[in-house]
Structure 1
Amino acid sequence: MSKVKASPPPGCTLNISDPQVQEAAIRIQASYRGHRSRKELREKGPPKILQELKDVVLVEGSAAKLECRVSAFPDPFIVWSKDGKELKDGPKYRYVFEDPDVVALVVRDGVLGDLGKYTVTIKNPFGVTSGSACIIVEVPAKVTKGPPSVKVKKGSTVTLKADISGEPPPDVGWLKDGEDIDEDDRVFFDIGDTNTILTIKNAQRSDAGKYEVFVENSLGTDQSFARVDVL
């Protein structure tokens, strides 16, 4: 007994002689060949950086991310370092992998010590490559330790010292009773990287008063006060 072959439902037939069908088949074959070729090239080649690291700004207390786009297959071994010292993945430095091709480093709880050159090293069985960029740390100007109030004898030398911080380095000024101090050979101040010192030679009773040290940069301002009494 012969079986009757059922006809396919409407719309389910495929005419291989149809030009549109033939064109679609060609596109599928070309796409497969292109994908296979790209994969084979990736397997045979060393890692490549497709998009370089860029310098970033890290504001004190916040986080910053360095990232680059890479081409590497099989999956590469990634190491981040700062000024030549390897950074371990952990609470401070977080290794991040985004998409298949993006590697990143997140630096948390920013401090001035995070300023430096960061390098990513990417290695697979076929080779190694690396790229570098800088983290630029910005810190609001601050008087971290103000000068103490002092009592001195007439004719003695007075020194008022304040510890300061800030990045960019802050502008520094000293005031007496709210007025800018006009420096001369007897009254002058010096500004270092981390402190400033006001010197008053041969102190006179007219030097008594309220002294203020003032710091300012693009991120903020700060000040501290001290009293000088001349006996």
Structure 2
Amino acid sequence: MAARGAAFNSRVRNYREELFGVGAPTVKQGFLGVRNRDITVRERRRYTDILRESTQGLEPKSHVDSTALQRAPSSGAIERIKADIEKVTPSATAKNADGTFAPIFTARLRDVYLRKNQPAVFECHVAASPAPNVTWSFQGKVLENSDRITIEQDHQTSRLTIRNAAPYDLGEYVCSATNELGTDKSSCRMISGETPSRPGRPEAELSSDTELFIQWEAPEGPTYLEGITYRLEYRLAGPNDHGAPWITVSERIDDESVVVKHLAPLGIYQFRVTAQMVLDLDYRP
């Protein structure tokens, strides 16, 4: 998928300069020269994320990208990816002279998994002055308290609990906060816990003597920002590598890229990646 962030190329250049020095992009001989001739830049984003942006009318802006990078100019790859997500979240609402301001979600909704015979809990935090009127909806229909549904409001925390969630509860949930100065919304989905399909083959995009920047394609089919993580493993490659043990780099990688550090110089490695579902925030590998 084509890159949509205007600052992505400069981030890759800065990353290479940190590894090889300021003059790395201009080298024409040796290992760096070969890499400079065939280097490619790609930024993969989940299809559902782009659909959500299009639905909400959100477009990335260059000054937003640069601001996020200025706050974390030397962060690792994962931190930079998380910084990119800031461009799809609303900025804080300015206060009026009397201290009042429109609603703003300080902690947005997260996707929730359907778990058999267990309650589904949606929670978010919204700030506003005066206090907002908070409503919940499912697939466009307003929800109210009932035998199965409990809606709670505790200061800035809004919570929706569905007892004995069932497959017919799968879909999109929206929390809306409104006062006389404005409205803000946060949405998420309840999704089933089916095993994801196989992700793409891991590829080394950038490398130094002891580090690799690895990327892979997301599994085919629907994936969700909060619903899928990856396990990355490696082992030494060689004539008898069939018996070499696999070493886990991480059991919980949030995106389709990672920086692997502390590798042996001139070492030859094999990598494999597995997609897995996260059932809740208390997941343990």
* Higher alpha-carbon Rg: 1
User: What band does the TM-score fall into relative to the shorter chain?
Assistant: 0.3 to 0.5
Instruction: Please identify which structure carries the higher helix content.
Output: 2
The two structures have a TM-score, normalised by structure 2, of 0.33
Instruction: Please identify which structure carries the higher strand content.
Output: 1
